[in-house]
Chain A
Amino acid sequence: MSQNKELLKIKNLKQYFPIKGGVFGRTVNHVKAVDDISFTIYEGETVSLVGESGCGKSTTGRAILRLDDPTAGEVEFDNTDLLSLNKKEMRQMRKDLQIIFQDPYASLNPRMTVRQSLNEAMEIQNVVPQDQRNDRIAELMETVGLQPHQADRFPHEFSGGQRQRIGIARALSVNPKLIVCDEAVSALDVSIQAQVLNLLKKFQEEMNLTYLFIAHDLGVVRHISDRIIVMYLGKIVEMGDTKSIFENPQHPYTKALLSAIPVPDPEKKIDRIFLQGDVPSPMDPPQGCRFHTRCPFATEKCAQEAPELREEDYMENGHVAACHYMKDIETGAHQPTKDTTSVRA
């Protein structure tokens, strides 16, 4: 993948949301939803952002499209600095940057037929001449596995899976380069989810699309991604190739996350790592390593110093993790300081 060109470059991205309070509605604090993250996506690949609720994965997706304006940092897409664009320029840019949301029912206008919705997207971006739009709509409907005559129906006349296909058709209608899929298949039943995942893969091959996939289902993530970025409380804790992450996770959080997935094979025994407690509030994230409050390996150093993303000599090229002790944990020199086998405090 590395020989491909860099399509999206995120540098030191921060997204803080103010919390207003008091009599005068002053900003009393910030939710640090995304706190200084950097990564690059190459053309034609699928990168997944994973993590639990509140880790900042969706916020990152929205910040890239400037659906929320980031607090600080750089977002470079196809050699253009997105954050320096004005509203009009940004709107034109969105022709290349599309998003598919989790709930297609909420993101499709209920008063517009599918034809009107698709037409609107093409009109705003002016990608297809008006007299050819109906042909293009018919083609899009067929591409996503729907009948062209269904284009005159309203969103409520479709099932959940079909609506998600319409969401995909709308994203594809403007021939984008990058699609952010924000939990795009999470709401679907597994048999329908597989249909949509296969469809997304097919389009990627046919149109050289690049996906930023935001998901919490690690089965889906393993299936669709080339690379994975693991986030925890607004920070990247680990990133690398899908195979490398799943087979050789380095960060204690990634290990716990992967071990927590229920495996559909009753004969397979997993050594599960149970994390104590819940994710702390992003309003007041822990000092030092953000994971230290729940990490079974945490020491005094973890509470003081925030670890940087780095690579150890035994790790695969491009696989990085942010943990002070990952090498010592790997060799067994550093043992857990907390019990991870019990679920009762």
Chain B
Amino acid sequence: MSQETILEVKDLRTSFFVEGNEVKAVDGVTFDVPKGKTLGIVGESGSGKSISALSILQLIDSPGKIVGGEINFKGDNLLKYNDNQMRKIRGNQISMIFQEPMTSLNPVYTVGQQLREALKIHRGLGKEAGTEKAVELLELVGIPSPRSRVTQYPFELSGGMRQRVMIAMALACDPELLVADEPTTALDVTIQAQILELLKELQDEFHMSIIMITHDLGVVAETCDYVAVMYCGKVVEYADVNTLFKNPRHPYTVGLLNSLPRSDVDQEELEPIKGTVPAPHEMPKGCRFAPRCPFATDLCHEKLPALEDIGEEEQIRCWIYTDEWDGDPEVKVYEPEQRTSED
């Protein structure tokens, strides 16, 4: 990679041990987050995108466990840190916002008290200085009359306001990396537009790097610089956002784009991906996507492809792009005319 990376995730493995079985939720995930940029992690339910994010902050509870890999943050492997060292990182250099602001805010403390907590722990700010900073933060995230809001409880705020409070909290200590796990999924679309724009403005102001976890390809296209597409616990494609949408390579990425009903163009018919995501205990031994892939050959069913570099900043996990490919050499995974826009 030509640019400076702030976070480098290498072969991360997180498993859940349930009734003597190992469920590999994250199964060898590798990606880089370039400094000051936004990396999108996109995938459907069960693809392991949220678990990857939680693993970065080591927020995995039993029966889950990080079983292997490296998480290099500014050159240091976070997996070597003890609890104490990790606590100094969380909410300070790396912070996180979650999907459901109501469940991640404490209902019995005021907004001000919750904002002050991080400031006290990481910055040693007392009550007065903390409150001042809290007001400043609320103003920063565009909450009207912030001074009266600091004394309010989460239930007194609307969904959009709560998510703004979450963002304020995450920004309290000027983090270098913000992990946003589906930050707008629970919000209405006009509120989602506000929050995404706010995140973009704040990123420009503070030069943060962001990991944006989402299932919404629209959100990816609008907010991300780079994208990692995940399927069944693995990254199947990594590319910059323009390449991914213009020239998607993995059959799964193509399938996602073709099944997306779009609001900006007229479409004749959607082309769904056939079948369903395999259950964790019956993972195919070859390529995880092979049973649903329209191009799959014997090779795909037998052997798992590796995530390989193609081009400067692109990686792909698919046999089609290797020398070993045993199917049609002329195979066209993506035909752009399928979704040409009318305007």
Task: Report how far A268 CA is from B217 CA in the complex, Å.
Answer: 14
A216 close to B271 (CB less than 8 A): no
Chain A residues contacting B266 (CB-CB under 8 Å) are 222, 243
With A191-B272, A263-B222, A344-B142 already in contact, the answer to whether A219 and B260 are too (CB < 8 A) is yes
Task: Kindly report which residue of chain B lies nearest to residue A243, judged by CB atoms.
Answer: B266
Name the contact of B189 in the complex, choosing from A191, A260, A265, A344 (C-beta under 8 A). Answer: A260
Of B48-56, B126-134, B196-204, B299-307, the one contacting chain A is: B196-204
* Chain B residues near A267 (CB-CB < 8 A): 242, 245-246
Given A189-B215, A192-B276, A218 contacting B260 (CB threshold 8 A):
no
Contact with B along A265-286 (1 / 0, CB 8 A): 1111000101101110000000
A219–B339 Cα distance when bound, in Å, is: 14
Inside 8 A of B261's CB, which chain A residues have their CB?
193-194, 197, 217, 219-220, 222-224
Q: Are B218's CB and A264's CB within 8 A?
A: yes
Q: At the interface, yes or no: B329 with Cβ under 8 Å from chain A?
A: no
Q: Are A219 and B276 in contact, CB atoms less than 8 angstroms apart?
A: no
Chain B residue at minimal CB-CB distance from A258: B263
Contact B218 A278 (CB under 8 A): no
Which residues of the partner chain B approach A279 to less than 8 Å between Cβ atoms? 188
Known: A53-B188, A219-B260, A345-B143. A272 touches B221 (CB 8 A): no
Q: Which of the segments B61-69, B251-259, B280-288 contacts the partner chain?
A: B251-259
* Known A-B contacts A343-B201, A344-B198; A266 and B245 likewise in contact (beta carbons under 8 Å): yes
Q: Are A52 and B341 in contact (CB under 8 A)?
A: no
Contact of A265 among B159, B198, B201, B221 (CB under 8 A): B221
* Contact code string B260-271 (vs A, CB < 8 Å = 1, else 0): 111110110111
Judged by a CB distance under 8 angstroms, whether B11 is at the interface is no
Chain B contacts for A343, CB-based, 8 A: 142, 193-195, 197-198, 201
Chain A residue with minimal CB distance to B259? A194
Are B263 and A190 in contact (CB-based, < 8 A)?
no
* Alpha-carbon distance A257/B245, docked complex (angstroms): 24
Chain B nearest CB from A249 CB (Å) reads: 12
B5 at the binding interface (Cβ < 8 Å):
no
Give the distance in Å from the alpha carbon of A277 to the alpha carbon of B157 in the complex: 11
| B104 interface residue (CB < 8 Å to A) | no
* Known contacts A189-B45, A189-B215, A263-B263; A218/B189 CB under 8 A: yes
The reply to whether A264 and B262 contact each other, CB–CB distance below 8 Å, is yes
**B220 adjacent to chain A (CB < 8 Å):** yes
**When chains A and B are docked, how far (Å) is the Cα of A313 from the Cα of B271?**
39
Q: In the complex, which of the residues B143, B222, B256, B267 contacts A191, with contact meaning CB atoms closer than 8 Å? A: B256
Q: Is A246 interfacial (CB 8 A cutoff)?
A: yes
Q: B79 at the A/B interface (Cβ < 8 Å)? A: no
Residues of A contacting B246 in the complex (Cβ-Cβ under 8 angstroms): 267
B160 touches A (CB below 8 Å): yes
A-chain residues with CB within 8 Å of residue B194 when the two chains form the complex: 274-275, 343
The answer to whether B255 touches A191 (Cβ under 8 A) is: yes
B158 at the interface (CB under 8 A from A): yes
* Chain A residues at the B interface, C-beta cutoff of 8 Å: 52-53, 159-162, 189-195, 197-198, 216-224, 243, 246, 256-268, 272, 274-275, 277-279, 343-345
Which 3 residue pairs across A and B have the least CB separation, nearest first? Answer: A262-B218, A344-B142, A194-B259
Q: Can you list 30 contacts pairing A with B, beta carbon distance less than 8 Å?
A: A52-B189, A190-B217, A191-B255, A192-B272, A193-B259, A195-B272, A195-B274, A198-B272, A216-B189, A219-B262, A221-B263, A223-B270, A246-B263, A259-B193, A261-B264, A262-B218, A262-B223, A263-B221, A264-B217, A264-B260, A265-B264, A266-B242, A272-B193, A274-B190, A277-B144, A343-B198, A344-B142, A344-B198, A344-B201, A345-B143
Please give 11 more A-B residue pairs, beta carbons under 8 A apart, in addition to A219-B260, A274-B197.
A159-B276, A191-B44, A194-B261, A195-B272, A198-B270, A221-B263, A260-B189, A263-B221, A264-B218, A275-B194, A278-B160
